[in-house]
């Protein structure tokens, strides 16, 4: 089996990690929560899934995030949007120019930090929207936007 459904204890641990890192956790009772071998977390609506599909699938549903060492979680873009509007910790507010840099996969600067820890994952916020997560360093934020989701400002000439 490539993915396996998380049990109640694992889900409770996930909720604790979210509260510890972002000050809020969503109610997972509405979802089936799966984890693959790499530690990636996927959410699926509570529907019947054929066990034959589970045995072959490497992922199911919405990619929520990945649990890292030291009880930290790197949220995906969608995961940051689900948690972000209720979070009260590890939020970096950016201006338009730096959000664009972040979405290009470049390091960026913050305008304001809300209860942030250096060398921890932070949710990237501009206005009322959340754009994913990055790593807060001493003087910048490292973008964690996957290459396939980056927005190119200009196409470089070949």
Question: For the chain, which domains are there?
Answer: 3-74 (no CATH), 90-149 (3.10.450.720)
What confidence tier does 50 reach under pLDDT thresholds 50, 70, 90?
low
Residue of higher predicted confidence among 144 and 152: 144
| pTM of the predicted structure, to 2 decimals | 0.87
Q: What is the average pLDDT across 152-156?
A: 66
Buried b (16+ CB within 10 A) or exposed e, 45-80: eeeebeeeeeeebebbbebbbbbeeeebbbbbbebb
According to the model, what pLDDT value does residue 70 have? 87
Residue 152: predicted pLDDT: 81
Q: For residues 29 and 8, is the Cβ–Cβ distance under 8 A?
A: no
Tokens of 40: 């990636």
Token digits for 88?
């009260």
Contact present, 144 and 127 (Cβ < 8 Å): no
pLDDT at 43: 92
Better-scored residue on pLDDT, 120 or 45: 120
Residue 3's pLDDT is what? Answer: 80
Which DSSP symbol is given to 28? G
pLDDT band at 58 (very low <50, low <70, confident <90, very high): low
Q: 11 and 75 in contact (C-beta within 8 Å)?
A: no
Q: Name the least confident of 57-66, 87-96, 117-126, 127-136.
A: 57-66
Average pLDDT, the chain: 89
């Amino acid at each position: 089996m490539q993915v396996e459904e998380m049990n109640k204890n694992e889900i409770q641990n996930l909720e604790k990690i979210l509260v510890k890192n972002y000050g809020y956790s969503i109610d997972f009772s509405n979802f089936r929560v799966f984890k693959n071998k790499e530690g990636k977390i996927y959410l699926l609506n509570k529907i019947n899934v054929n066990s034959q599909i589970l045995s072959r699938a490497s992922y199911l549903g919405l990619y929520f995030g990945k649990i890292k060492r030291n009880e930290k979680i790197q949220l995906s873009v969608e995961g940051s949007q689900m948690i972000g509007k209720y979070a009260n910790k590890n939020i970096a507010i950016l201006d338009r120019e730096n959000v664009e840099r972040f979405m290009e996969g470049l390091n960026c600067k913050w305008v304001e930090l809300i209860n942030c820890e250096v060398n921890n994952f932070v949710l990237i916020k501009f206005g009322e929207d959340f754009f994913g997560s990055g790593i807060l360093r001493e003087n910048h934020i490292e973008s964690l936007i996957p290459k396939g989701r980056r927005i190119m400002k200009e196409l470089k000439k070949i």
